[in-house]
Amino acid sequence: MMWLRLVFGAFVFLGPWSNASEIDSCPAEGCALENLSCVKWRQTVGCDPKGSREKSGDKECHEEIGIGSSGYCQCASSSSSERVKARAVSCDHRPFRCSTECLQAVRYRCISWRQTGGCSADGTREPNKDQTCRALIDPRSSGYCECGGGRIIRKPGCAHGEWAEPFTRLDECAGEASLYEELGVDSSASDKEIKQAFRKLSLVHHPDKTRNDPVLTARFSQIREAYEILGDEGQRAIYDSAGLQLLYEFLSNKAEKGQSSTTEVKVTLEHMYNGQLIQVSVPRVLVCRGCRERQTERCRRCNTRCADELEYRKVRMGNMIMQQQVQVPSKEKCRTEQHPVTLMVERGSSNGDTLIFQHRGGLLTPKKVPGDVIVKLVETKHVAFRRAGVDLHTEVTITLREALLGFERTLQHLDGRTIYFGHKGVTKPFAVMKISKEGMPHKDPTEKGDLYIKCKVEMPEDGPKWLEEMKR
């Protein structure tokens, strides 16, 4: 006898009736750690782990599940006839084996949704808004999915969820952990935070510390792989924008790099003199993944035209048929977003200098990894100083009396220091004073240009009256 199950409006083939039941959630007190063995890899169609079963794609437990396959590992309990789904994945995932995943199948089972406030998974707990595993959660809600084995899936919500679909904790816990989740950090984590998280987890899960426990060894392999990608600036940028599948294809020279984009950022002379970290936003176009055929609310907001794609077509030339590369309109849907970038304006930077951010390009072409963002520094006009190479120029106005008898002045430098200068005796109009080593720094921090001060003499409006005052 054959059975069908209704899943999100579509009937999914489950195969012959079996007395074995599938379990996918834990009691409120948590999941008991039990020995689970692998049954098989169950393949699905359409790059959707909830899609219809594709029996011909099923694999044995020891076989590697490579990129491009969707489905889930089916694991069996040693104490009952129950079945557990582990690592339900789309086509965009890391390679793995179900024999390893079933060892840690408890991590793929759901306990509950824990709601928080403040648009942060670390915000104040709101237990009255907690939900069961099967409830549909608005992606704009902040909180975290609590799964078995201490696994936590953080959801910042609010604006972060604008481009996400509603979800259930059941699906989230059953799915593959993101690389950030493997390390227990947010997607906005700094390089330092990522490194610290890896070191902390290594102290617990490294095989030298765990006596080669198979479950903990499997966890360490996942942690190490996550760090190898997130610890590399270029790979992390590709993962954030394009996902794992394109990243692996790019690393194996199977994916092309998209077009780079250039943008200008205005910086002050103070920034160039002192060096400064600046937070800016650069526009970029992203492919709305999963929206090629779908018309969800999220996909309808994707109203930016995607870049054309390249397609190979067969062309007959006489008795020969050749492949010709042509540009065709993309069938994907795209959107525009402002992407935050942190600029390090180095001491001694110049107008027109460029900073390159790998794989954070402003145009993500379908089937291509993001190009680079090239940021050009544009120096803004300063009220007091003018730059000429590594030298600085400024002006001071002195009276005719000071021009004849001498003067003393102070000025505030670009780093806030007070500079004292002056001249004894006669100062000619437009005379230029030089103060060594007070100009712009070179890229060599031990070197500096010079500061030049032009003296402008303010002439009296009434000469005879001024002479009378000088005689007193």
Q: The CATH number of the domain where 427 resides is what?
A: 2.60.260.20
What's phi and psi for 298, nearest 5 deg?
-60, -45
Task: Using the predicted structure, report yes or no on whether residue 114 has a pLDDT greater than 90.
Answer: yes
Least confident of 46-55, 209-218, 346-355, 380-389: 209-218
Work out the mean pLDDT of the chain and round it to a whole number.
Answer: 84
The DSSP symbol for 227 reads H
Say yes or no: 273 and 326 in one domain: yes
Q: Quick one: pLDDT at residue 364?
A: 64
Q: Which amino acid is at 382?
A: H
Give the pLDDT band of residue 20 (cuts 50, 70, 90). very low
> How far, in Å, CA of 137 to CA of 144, rounded?
11
More confidently predicted of 194 and 283: 194
What's phi and psi for 468, nearest 5 deg?
-65, -40
Q: Quick one: pLDDT at residue 5?
A: 37
Domain assignment present for 228: no
Say yes or no: 267 and 352 in one domain: yes
348-371 as b/e: b if 16+ CB within 10 A: bbeeebebebbbbbbbbbbbbbbb
Q: Which amino acid is at 363?
A: L
Give the pLDDT band of residue 363 (cuts 50, 70, 90). low
Say yes or no: 268 and 325 in one domain: yes
Stretch 350-377: mean pLDDT: 84
Task: Using the predicted structure, report yes or no on whether residue 220 has a pLDDT greater than 80.
Answer: yes
> How far, in Å, CA of 105 to CA of 109, rounded?
7
Among residues 189, 217, 248, 194, which one has the least CA distance to residue 97?
217
Q: Quick one: pLDDT at residue 344?
A: 92
For residue 339, what are its two tokens? 């992407």
Task: Using the predicted structure, report yes or no on whether residue 65 has a pLDDT greater than 90.
Answer: yes
Least confident of 215-219, 399-403, 430-434: 215-219
Least confident of 11-25, 113-127, 205-219, 363-377: 11-25
Find the farthest-apart pair of alpha carbons in the chain and give their distance in angstroms, rounded.
Answer: 121
Q: Quick one: pLDDT at residue 3?
A: 39
Q: Are strands 167-168 and 309-317 parallel, antiparallel or unpaired?
A: unpaired
Q: Quick one: pLDDT at residue 10?
A: 35
Stretch 38-54: mean pLDDT: 92
Q: Quick one: pLDDT at residue 31?
A: 58
> How far, in Å, CA of 128 to CA of 133, rounded?
15
Total structural domains within the chain: 2
Q: Note whether 98 and 138 are within 8 A (CB).
A: no
Q: Quick one: pLDDT at residue 460?
A: 82
Q: Note whether 392 and 313 are within 8 A (CB).
A: no
> How far, in Å, CA of 310 to CA of 326, rounded?
6
Say yes or no: 296 and 355 in one domain: yes
Stretch 74-87: mean pLDDT: 82
Domain encompassing residue 397: 386-471
Task: Using the predicted structure, report yes or no on whether residue 427 has a pLDDT greater than 60.
Answer: yes
Domain assignment present for 230: no
* Contacts for 218 with CB less than 8 Å, ≥ 6 apart: 100, 101, 103, 104
Q: Note whether 421 and 435 are within 8 A (CB).
A: yes
Say yes or no: 341 and 394 in one domain: no
More confidently predicted of 285 and 30: 285
Q: Quick one: pLDDT at residue 387?
A: 96
What's phi and psi for 360, nearest 5 deg?
-120, 30
Q: What are the residues facing 265 on neighbouring strands?
A: 377
Query: Tell me: the pLDDT tens digits for 285-315?
Result: 777 876 776 677 778 888 887 877 767 677 7
Say yes or no: 313 and 343 in one domain: yes
Long-range pairs of 457-464 with CB within 8 A, sequence gap ≥ 24: 457/397, 457/398, 457/399, 457/400, 457/403, 457/427, 457/429, 457/430, 458/397, 458/398, 458/399, 458/400, 459/400, 460/400
Q: Are strands 320-328 and 309-317 parallel, antiparallel or unpaired?
A: antiparallel
- Tell me which of 379, 402, 422 is where a domain ends: 379
Say yes or no: 274 and 354 in one domain: yes
More confidently predicted of 267 and 442: 267
Which DSSP string corresponds to 139-176? TTS-EEEEEGGG-EEEE--GGGGTTS--EEHHHHHHBP
What's phi and psi for 217, nearest 5 deg?
-65, -40
DSSP, collapsed to helix, strand or coil, labels residue 264 as strand
Stretch 95-102: mean pLDDT: 92
Domain assignment present for 427: yes
In 320-441, which ranges are continuous DSSP H helix?
400-405
Domain assignment present for 27: no
Give the pLDDT band of residue 378 (cuts 50, 70, 90). very high
Percent of the chain with pLDDT over 90: 40
Q: Quick one: pLDDT at residue 471?
A: 67
- Tell me which of 324, 359, 379 is where a domain ends: 379
Domain assignment present for 393: yes
Domain assignment present for 80: no
